[in-house]
Every structure is written in C-alpha cells, then in structure tokens.
Structure 1
Amino acid sequence: MRHLNADIAIIGGSTGGVAAAIAALRMGCSVILTEETDWIGGQLTSQGVPPDEHQYIEKTGCTKSYREFREKVRKYYRSNFALTLSAENAEYFNPGNAAVGKLSVDPRVTVSVLEEMLMPYIFSGKLQLLKNCFLMKADVNGDKIDSVFLEHHLSGELYCLTADYFLDGTDCGDLLHHCQAEHVMGSESQADTDEPHALPGEADPYDMQSVSHCFAVDYIEGGDFTIDKPETYDYWKRYKADYWPDMQLSMTTPHHITHEPLKWSLFGENGGRDMFQYRRILDKTLFLPGTYHSDITIINVPQTDYFEGVIFNVPDAAWHLKAAKQLSLSFLYWLQTEAPTMTGTPGHKGLRLRKDVMGTEDGLAKAVYVRESRRIKAEFTILEQHVATDSRKDGKAAQFEDSVGIGLYRIDLHPSTGGRNYIDIGCLPFQIPLGAFIPVRMENMLPACKNIGTTHITNGCYRLHPVEWNIGEAAGALAAFCIKNKYKPREVYYTSTKRMDFQMDLKRLGIDLAWKL
C-alpha cells in the first residue's frame, strides 16, 4: 500500500473537484486529486456534457479562473485547428455553435486544457494526481477524517491518503457516504422545506433526477454504421412512462416547461427541434474546407434520460448503470434503423458512433451524467424561496452576507426516479452562501461540487458547470484559508471578521460575491 500525504486531499476529479484543486494550489497548498476514470473534469469531460451556461457568461457571472478556462479552450482551437478566417477572428468563437451553449466543445479538448492548467503544479510536486482510482473507505475519528483508502481499478494498487482537509469532489457524494457525514438524498417534502415544488406528501430519498449516458455521433451521407442491436432494445422499444406523450424511443417528448408534446427531428426537418444542432460540438463550416466530413454532436436528449432507478445507495445500482447504457445505445439503434426520415425510408444509417470522441470501447461517455448527488446537511440550506422567480416579490434572489460566489440557471429538474415529469421554473441571479458548505458535524470535510446544502429543487439551478466550478473553487480556497490561519470552517462561517477576511481572499482569486448586472 502506498501512503501519500498533502495539505488537502480532493476525492473526485469532477468539475468542482478540479476547480477546488486549482484554488488550493494557487493559495500555496499541496494537493492530492483523485479520479475514477482517466479523464479529470466530470460533467465537462468524462460525462460528455458541453457547458450549460447563462446568457451573461461572456461578460460576467463566473469566476476569473472559469473565464481563464474558457479562454484557454478557444486558444487551444486557434493554436491547433485549421479554422476559417471568420472563426479565427470571432470574439466569442464557439466550435460547435450548439443551440444550448455558447462554448460547445469536444471533451478531448476540455480535458487537455484542464490538465494544462494543472501541469505546473504536477511538475513542481505540489499536486499528486491519481487517475483510475476509486474510493474504498474512510477512517473517521469522531468528527474528523483521519485517512481515506483508494484502489487503482486497473493495477489493484492500494493507496492510503492523509491530509488536513478532505474535499468531496465526487459526482455522487461518495465521500459523504463513506465518512458517515450527515447528508440527504432525493426529494424533500413540503413539510420539510415549505418549497412550493417539493413533494406534497412524505420525503422520498429515492426520488431524484434521471441520469443520462451521453455519446457522440457524426453523419456520413450514404454510409451504414448501424450498431449491433442492443440486448434490451425490445424492452425500450415498448417502454412508455405514464406522463410521456409517446414511446421513449420516438421523436416526441414533453416540453421541459409546459409538458406539452415537443417534436424533434435529427436535422430540424419538418419544423422539429434540431437534435443534431442541440449539443453540437463541432460545426464543420468553422474549419477549413476538407478538414471534417461532418459536424459532430453529443446526444444528450430526453430520450436518453434514465429514470427507472437510482445509481447509488441501492443493491442494484450497477444494474441501473448498465440499463442507462442500454437505453442510450437503444436510442442510437432506433435512430439508425427506425426513426422517420425525409425520404420515407426509416432509419438514419449514416449516423456514426464516434468512439474516439469519448475515448471508450463502447462509444459511450466514460461516466454517466449525474444530475443529482447526495447533499450534506449543512449549517444553511438553500431553498426554492431564496432563488425562484415566483417566490421573490422584489425581483431579486435572497442576498447572503456570507456569499462565496454567484450563479444563474433555471431550476431545471429532469424526469425523476419517483415518476415525476420535468420541473422547470424561473430563477433569478443568485449567490452561493458559505453556510451551505459547512457540515453540521464534520470538521475537516467539505463538499466541492453538487453536494452542498441545496434541496432536490435548488440543486436544479446550482448543478450546472460554472456554478459547480465556483463551488469547487470556494471549497478549495476555504480549506487553504483555514490551513493558513489555523481556523476551522465553522469558525469562518460564524465569525464575521474571519468570514470577511476569507471573502477578501476570494476576491483576490477573482471570485465575484455579488452580481454586477
């Protein structure tokens, strides 16, 4: 067994986990960062989800380091790809020109940029990066974690990590589980939170957002790239949720706000929503002629939302993970063989699964896209009443004196494992309160991604890329601030002078604490 030590150990290389490492390293701490796959970045990379961002992102509403990351992505394309002159000179170059994002990017580019941002610290020895390692257990002494144990899933090598602080950067809140930190999962009841959109009856810990296994495709006219028929295709071909307007494998889904039937089509034909442009990561017209045969897109659509079961805290979690993969592959097979086309002949056989984009043998993302994690029981919990447009009579989200960042996204909840349709409601530009980072008991463990003190409802707007990045950055900075000053996170939260000193450190890092709209 290898014993490794650092000031801060970050378990999980999610979007937030990587941001936490960057912040802690820039504040002078040594860091161990672990990751279950061979790609750091979480939803940005291994889960294959190009950034979902708000309408102000190019000007404001994110941290300095997140803006730096975005700029480095654009620089990477300009330095390594044959762009057209107009693309080369575009102020806000968007490689995919996707419908849902202002910077839709190949995940291979994203992981290269993230590793480039960490490389100086790897070379200096300040950062130890452990890939392909999964968390086995945590040794806890009272209210503190003494050590965590990991196993390399390829070599079988075991690691024992010790640190002053342990941050949970896993997408499912795995460290919260293993160190037995007080936490919640699933849906709270209205009796718990008084939130208008919480469950009207009892809370349900197994009612959470669906997961999706993303994949990349291009389209080669005249080709036939039909995959082998997935083993559970016939099941998914017959599947229809009670609240779904058509079969799961179809071109009709509920509208995410109105729940009215929404028509899709592969390329926007017949007025349907253009599935190919929706999360397109490469628009071939932005590159010199002949560079690419086709656009490339990520398929992450309602038809691939898996809501038949949850993927942690249940004995059949592995079965549900496999089933989520089977649903995605079944939808691809349906698109290739049975989806309606303009010619009248069913199936788009020219759809080609781009295994190289995701870097996997089956062509699916290295990890399933997790929208909802375990969440700490925190000193302060963010409620719908703090951020939802309909709950704020003055037109402003709640203002928090302990703000450690800002964010904006609709409260966007996908169909749930509890049998509920989309919940998608307006949200105001909000702040991220420090109280949501402070566990009710644990002293040297902090959440660093989707696992802060939100509810099932508010997780829907605090889970997106720039917000998760800000959360991770604030968590890494908090641990570093506490090490430097020999404080505890709880002291920083409850002592106004210490909190304000910490907020000054955040401002020096380039983290806005209030919106400047």
Structure 2
Amino acid sequence: MTSHQKCTDGVGRRDFLKRLAVVAPLMWAAPACVAGRPHRSPAAADELVADLVIIGGGLGGCAAALAAARRGLRVIMTEETDWIGGQLTQQAVPPDENAWIETIGGTRSYLALRTGIRDYYRAQTPLTARAMANPRLNPGNCWVSRIGCEPRVALTVLEAMLAPYVASGQLRILRHYTAVAASVDRDRVHAVRVRQRNTGHDIELRAPYFADATELGDLLPLTRTEYVTGAESVAQTGEPHAMRTAEPDNVQAFTMCFALEHRSGEQHVIDRPSDYASWRDLAIPAADGVTYRLLSFDEPANQRIGFDPERRTGYWSYRRVIDRDLFALQPADDARYRHDVSIVNWGQNDYSFGSLIDVSAATAQQHVARAKAQSMSLLYWLQTEAPRPDGGAGWPGLRLRPDVMGTDDGFAKYPYIRESRRIAAEFTVCEQHVTTESRPDATRAADFPDSVGIGHYSMDLHRTTRGDYGRYGATFPFQIPLGALLPQRVENLLPACKNLGVTHLTNGCYRLHPIEWNIGESVGNLVAFCLAKRCAPRAVRQQAKLLQDFQRELARVGVPLQWPLPG
C-alpha cells in the first residue's frame, strides 16, 4: 500500500506558496497554444482538439485534468460557472470524508489539495500561534469534516494546482460552457459541441477520449450512452433495500446552500419571502413515522443537535468554515475573520420536490428557483421564529456572506447535487458489496481485483423526490472497481463524477469528495495509459497484464488500491 505520510505530492510548502503567488495572474489567461498546436481564440474558433476533453469542472473533472496533464496529455475542460471545484467550491459543501483521511483514504494529490488549503491559511490569514502550529488545522473547526474552509480558498488552491498546465498550454479551461450536442458513430464519440452561456457561441471539441464530469451526467443522453436514473428494483440489483419496482424518477434531494455569519445585537433580517408561510407550515415524514414541520428542529435528532449561534453550538458549528477563535485579528486586519461563518446545508433546506434529471430546462430552472426560495425561507425562520434556549425566538443578527460564496446574494453558485444519471456499467457496485448489514459474516467489503482506488463513507441517502426519508447504513471501507468506470457499450466515454456504475443506494457512499476525486484521477490516468499502450479502456480490465501494469502506474502516482487488512 502506498504511504500517505507525506502528502504534498513532491511540492514543499514554500514552493507551493511561491507557485500560488506567481501563477495566480495566469489562472484566468487563455493559453496561446496546446502542446505545440496553436489554439484559436474561442471567439473566432468553432473547433478545438485535445487528447482528452472533460465536460464538467467539478472535483472529478479537476482531478482527471490534473492527472492527464501530468502524464503529458493535451486537455480541455469545460465548466458551467466561473468556478471550478464542484461541490467543494461552487456548491459550498465542506468535504465529507472518511475517518482516516489524514493518513489514508485519499489519493496523494487529494491529500496535497488538503495540505494546500492549510498552507493558504497559514500564509495568507492572521492565524493565532496555536492554530498556525496545528498540523491538522481545521479553519472552521466544523464537525462534519476535518478541514472545513471557505469555498474561495479551495478554489484558489485548486487553480494553483492546475496553473502550471494552464500556463504551459497543456490544459485549457472553458468557463461558462455547457454541452449541447454530440457527434457519435456507433460506439464512439467523435465530438462534443459546447455553448458559451453568456454569448451563445459554440465550439466543437474533438478528442480520442471524453470524460463526463458533469454533476448530473449530462453527456450520457447527448452521446446516447446507456444510463440508469433513480431507484432500481430488487429484481435488477438484488439489493436487500432496493425498491419492489424500479422508480427512475426517485432521486435524492438537492440543496441550495448559503453562508451565514452571526453579529450579536445587530439587525440583518431579510424581507419576509412571499411564500414563507407555505414552507414554514409544510409537514414531512421522518424516520420515526411522525411528520414534522420542514422549518423546525422538532425532529428528535435535530433537537439533540440544536442550533445556537450565540453559544456557537449544534448546527451552527456543523458546517462552519471560519472559526473566529483561530484568528488573532488586529483593528486593521481583514474583517472577514471577525465572525464565525457557517454553511447551511441541512435537512431543512434539502429540496425533494422535483428532480433536475431528464426534465426540460424550464422545469429545472423552476426547481432551482423553488429550492432557493426554500433556503431563503429557512433563513428568515432562523432570523425570526427559530426557538432560542432563553425562550425567545429568532436570531436577527444572522447575516448572509456573499463574499464567501462569490455571489451577489450569499447563496451558492450551483445546487449541491447528490444523485446523477449513472452509466449502465460493465460492473455495478451494489449494497451487498459494501454494507455491514448485507455482509454480517464478513470483516471487509467485497474485494475488487480491478480496483482503481479506495473510499469510505456511510450509505447516506437524503430525502428523495418520492418522499423516502432516506437511509444511513454503515459500510466497510471499500474499493472503486475499474468495471464501474466502463460503459457497457460506448468505448471512449468515461465517467468522472457521481455517474459511475453504482446504484441509487450505493451512490450514497460513492458520491463524496475524496471518492469523486479518486474517480476522476483514475480516469485521467486511464486515458493516458490507453493512449500510450494503444489499447482500449475495456482491454485494461480484460487483460491481466494490462490491468497489472495500469494498477502499478496508479500506485506509483499515489492512488491506493486497497485498504489495510483488518486485524
């Protein structure tokens, strides 16, 4: 097993910070060429060519781009918004990680990302001496993660990691572009047409390989790649907790996250949302069979956790990204660290009233608008009606922080997506492969000889569009099988996000930050390996020698393939 005690990926802290300072101006510049080939300006061009085209700039897309560029490939990556980084940045979700992430459970480059975030705070913010010396600095001291940080900081570090390849021309990032069409011949994708969201300008992207790193698996229908949505049936998967009949429209809720600080004694109450009463009074079922108001802490689990921004406890510290106690501020110092900042991503603003998958653009926009209205009503309720420990109601000092989110209103740039379209894969990971309940006589998850990475998280399913309350089942530490990254038919399109071969249930444990990164990194390395060996991805899984060589390459670059044996 690869050691992860040194997780800077060969870049020392001083070198990293020097790189961050020097290349920051280059991050936004379009390179003039790619590996010796001139790039025309997107304003004038209608076609660009690369070795790998990645549609989607989330964590999986960034990891795929980084891995492929490090292997010498020419890469084009598109992104719908102006921020790469997906759930860590534009969706504002502090990393959900396994319990051992500081030493194992992430790839070397993912651990380097985490190190870079800590180094940024040490170099660029007025940390206290104690916080500065803490090797496991958690800027938010949150309890959902061991490294809660501002989305903007994660963005800065991600761009610094990619900047050398942007500057050299190996990597081109096209922001504000979405895929609108694809050219497909039988089992191969030849080109994907992308459109600039602001100008309507189209570019044809051509490559021998494509990766779908979109949050919803958008390339799958465009390329006529077979895919699955929603909840499968027992007959389809054999999973103990699968549905009696398939429910393709039954997907997990998505969430419009927002950032809050609390200024005690001040008034920052927003205007009452026009639909506030309907959200406040809406009742939803819970695990105990009782229905509770959506905007409340009435459910027993929520009551135990509580919420108190004055005492800075409960849900307030859950997804906190700035803990003011870690910063030794002088009067002239940056005011953004004078108050705690917490990200609101709770069950109370999970939007389970419609899906974004396989619906019209207008319908999707309506659901996103309603999800934002739900979150806005939650904010107003917290400011005005939420019960306080002292018997009062509401915290009027709660205040949105647009600067943290990079938006005008303090809400995330993009919905936090939990469930995507999923490829119909050569191999699908099912509940019986990973959960402790399904493997009562086992001491570990199923062994996958074609492993291309590892991960661990509980099988965490949030409320769904069919009203299922969700599940939270324990799992063994598991592997990522290469077979789950291979479509059954299409030869040169690979998943690099949450769209791999998992089920509605196992998506709940394969959708988290370090696992998505690992998926993307393995895909980027797989494309480079296949181009070098002149073989197809499918052949790597089918031929023992190729698989052995590829797994050796993954281990060399710091992708662990198995967990330590129990005992």
TM-score by length of 1: 0.96
2-side partners of 1:232 and 1:133: how far apart? 33
Matched, 1:306 2:354: no
Contact 1:335 1:348 in 2 (8 A): yes
Q: Could you tell which deviates more after superposition, 333-342 or 178-187?
A: 333-342
CA-to-aligned-CA distance 1:452-471 (integer Å, 9 cap, x gap):
00000111110000011001
3-state SS of 1:246 partner: strand
The one of 269, 285, 294 aligned to 1:248: 294
3-state SS of 2:284 partner: coil
1-side partners of 2:474 and 2:488: how far apart? 30
The one of 209, 223, 228 aligned to 1:165: 209
2-side partners of 1:160 and 1:230: how far apart? 43
3-state SS of 1:252 partner: coil
Q: Could you tell which deviates more after superposition, 240-249 or 20-29?
A: 240-249
Contact 1:252 1:263 in 2 (8 A): no
Aligned to 1:481: 529
Residue 347 of structure 1: CA displacement?
Answer: 1.5
1-side partners of 2:300 and 2:349: how far apart? 13
The one of 432, 438, 454 aligned to 1:385: 432
2-side partners of 1:394 and 1:458: how far apart? 18
Matched, 1:106 2:154: no
Instruction: Give structure 2 stretches of 5+ with no counterpart.
Output: 1-44
3-state SS of 1:391 partner: coil
Aligned to 2:323: 283
Residue 390 of structure 1: CA displacement?
Answer: 1.4
1-side partners of 2:536 and 2:185: how far apart? 16
Contact 2:105 2:454 in 1 (8 A): yes
Give the residue type in structure 1 aligned to 2:389: M
3-state SS of 2:50 partner: strand
2-side partners of 1:269 and 1:131: how far apart? 40
Aligned to 1:428: 476
Residue 340 of structure 1: CA displacement?
Answer: 1.4
The one of 355, 361, 364 aligned to 1:317: 364
Q: Could you tell which deviates more after superposition, 239-248 or 484-493?
A: 239-248
Aligned to 2:247: 204
The one of 467, 481, 495 aligned to 1:419: 467
2-side partners of 1:365 and 1:309: how far apart? 19
Contact 2:264 2:310 in 1 (8 A): no
Matched, 1:468 2:513: no
2-side partners of 1:254 and 1:245: how far apart? 12
3-state SS of 2:208 partner: strand
Residue 242 of structure 1: CA displacement?
Answer: 3.4
Contact 2:357 2:420 in 1 (8 A): no
3-state SS of 2:136 partner: coil
Give the residue type in structure 1 aligned to 2:462: H
Mapping for residues 361-400 of structure 1, pairs under 5 Å:
361-392=408-439, 393-400=441-448
Mapping for residues 142-221 of structure 1, pairs under 5 Å:
142-199=186-243, 201-221=244-264
CA-to-aligned-CA distance 1:428-452 (integer Å, 9 cap, x gap):
0101000001100101100001000
Give the residue type in structure 2 aligned to 1:406: I
Residue 344 of structure 1: CA displacement?
Answer: 3.4
Contact 1:220 1:293 in 2 (8 A): no
3-state SS of 2:101 partner: coil
Aligned to 1:446: 494
3-state SS of 2:109 partner: helix
Contact 2:285 2:469 in 1 (8 A): no
CA-to-aligned-CA distance 1:149-205 (integer Å, 9 cap, x gap):
111112222211001100000010001121110000100011111111111x21001
Q: Could you tell which deviates more after superposition, 398-407 or 333-342?
A: 333-342
2-side partners of 1:470 and 1:296: how far apart? 29
CA-to-aligned-CA distance 1:17-49 (integer Å, 9 cap, x gap):
111111111111110011001000100100000
Residue 2 of structure 1: CA displacement?
Answer: 2.6
Give the residue type in structure 2 aligned to 1:416: T
Residues 1:176 and 1:77: Cα distance change in structure 2 (over 3 Å): same
Residue 263 of structure 1: CA displacement?
Answer: 4.2
1-side partners of 2:262 and 2:172: how far apart? 40
Residue 337 of structure 1: CA displacement?
Answer: 1.3
3-state SS of 1:336 partner: helix
Residue 269 of structure 1: CA displacement?
Answer: 8.3
Aligned to 1:354: 401
Quote the RMSD (CA, aligned, Å): 1.5
Matched, 1:238 2:281: yes
Aligned to 1:510: 558
Give the residue type in structure 1 aligned to 2:470: Y
Contact 1:208 1:310 in 2 (8 A): yes
2-side partners of 1:160 and 1:204: how far apart? 35
Mapping for residues 263-282 of structure 1, pairs under 5 Å:
263-267=304-308, 274-282=314-322
1-side partners of 2:135 and 2:444: how far apart? 31
1-side partners of 2:537 and 2:378: how far apart? 46
1-side partners of 2:180 and 2:498: how far apart? 21
Give the residue type in structure 2 aligned to 1:227: I
CA-to-aligned-CA distance 1:62-119 (integer Å, 9 cap, x gap):
1000011111111111110111011111010110000110000100000000000000
CA-to-aligned-CA distance 1:302-345 (integer Å, 9 cap, x gap):
10111011012123222111111111111001101111123433
Give the residue type in structure 1 aligned to 2:222: H
Residue 232 of structure 1: CA displacement?
Answer: 2.2
Contact 1:95 1:105 in 2 (8 A): yes
1-side partners of 2:316 and 2:513: how far apart? 21
1-side partners of 2:172 and 2:46: how far apart? 13
Residues 1:409 and 1:185: Cα distance change in structure 2 (over 3 Å): same
Mapping for residues 52-131 of structure 1, pairs under 5 Å:
52-131=96-175
3-state SS of 2:460 partner: strand
Contact 2:259 2:405 in 1 (8 A): yes
3-state SS of 1:389 partner: coil
Q: Could you tell which deviates more after superposition, 242-251 or 409-418?
A: 242-251
Residue 254 of structure 1: CA displacement?
Answer: 6.4
Residues 1:471 and 1:142: Cα distance change in structure 2 (over 3 Å): same
Aligned to 1:258: none
2-side partners of 1:38 and 1:289: how far apart? 31
Task: Give the count of matched residue pairs.
Answer: 510
Residue 293 of structure 1: CA displacement?
Answer: 2.5
Q: Could you tell which deviates more after superposition, 108-117 or 344-353?
A: 344-353
The one of 366, 371, 391 aligned to 1:344: 391
1-side partners of 2:78 and 2:298: how far apart? 40
3-state SS of 2:308 partner: coil
TM-score by length of 2: 0.88
Aligned to 1:50: 94
Instruction: Give structure 1 stretches of 5+ with no counterpart.
Output: 256-260
The one of 267, 273, 279 aligned to 1:224: 267
Residues 1:318 and 1:460: Cα distance change in structure 2 (over 3 Å): same
2-side partners of 1:329 and 1:21: how far apart? 36
Residues 1:240 and 1:68: Cα distance change in structure 2 (over 3 Å): same
